[in-house]
Amino acid sequence: GPVDLDGPVELPSVVPLGKQALPPGVPLEILDDVAVEFSLGGSPLEAFSLTLPGGLPLTLEALENRQVINSKLYYGQVVRWNGMKR
pLDDT in tens, 9-41: 677 777 777 777 787 878 888 888 888 888 888
| Structure-model confidence comparison of residues 52 and 67, the more confident one | 52
Contact 30, 42 (CB under 8 A): no
| 13 or 49, which is more confident | 49
Looking at residue 19, its pLDDT comes to 77
> Kind of pairing, strands 46-51 and 37-41?
antiparallel
Q: What digits encode the pLDDT tens for the residues 53-76?
A: 888 888 888 888 767 677 777 777
pLDDT at 86 exceeding the cut of 70? no
Q: Does 53 sit behind a cis peptide bond, omega within 30 degrees of 0 on the bond before it?
A: no
